[in-house]
Amino acid sequence: MTTPTIHTGPTDDTESVFDRACRLIETELGGRRLAPEPRTWLDELARTRRHKTALITAVWNNCFPSGVVEACRVVEAIYPYLGPDGRCTDAALTAAWNILEPDASTWPDQLQDQRRRFTSKCLNRALAEANTAVAAHG
């Protein structure tokens, strides 16, 4: 038999699952909520657009694309492959790599590995910068 660690009164049925999870995290771990739950699909869309815009700027500044259009292409290619926590996955890196270095298959393996690691660092730096920009915006 397990006993609950949170001693609260009866739950409020109007509280969302998101709010209950946040309350649990705040109580158990002493954490704090970073952003409110999106109220409507339009709020979520605005948040996604804000993040993509920040990510395009960060890719432009960190990943050395040939232009803004290529930075946009990189963001559109990697976005579906980002992890649930907004981090770069191998699939996202491959998608970016295919756009940023299209002729890499003709390079020696050692150079490919070196440039792929460099691209991974640049992409992770861009994601961190974009996530920070969006979190600071609210």
Q: Give the chain's domain count.
A: 1
Q: What is the pLDDT of residues 8-42, one digit of tens each?
A: 455 556 777 777 776 776 676 666 555 666 567 67
Q: Is residue 19 part of a domain?
A: no
Whether residue 36 is contained in a domain is answered as: no
Question: 82-86, 94-98, 123-127: which range is least confident on average?
Answer: 82-86
Asked whether residue 27 is assigned to any structural domain, the reply reads: no
- pLDDT tens string 92-119: 999 999 999 999 989 999 999 999 999 9
Q: Is the pLDDT of residue 1 over 60?
A: no
Most distant CA pair in the chain, distance: 66
Which SS3 state, helix, strand or coil, does residue 106 take?
Answer: helix
Which residue's structure tokens are 């969006």? 134
Please report whether residue 11 resides in a domain: no
Averaged pLDDT score across all residues of the chain = 82
H-type alpha helices, the chain: 17-29, 41-62, 68-78, 90-100, 109-137
Q: Which domain holds residue 96?
A: 41-137
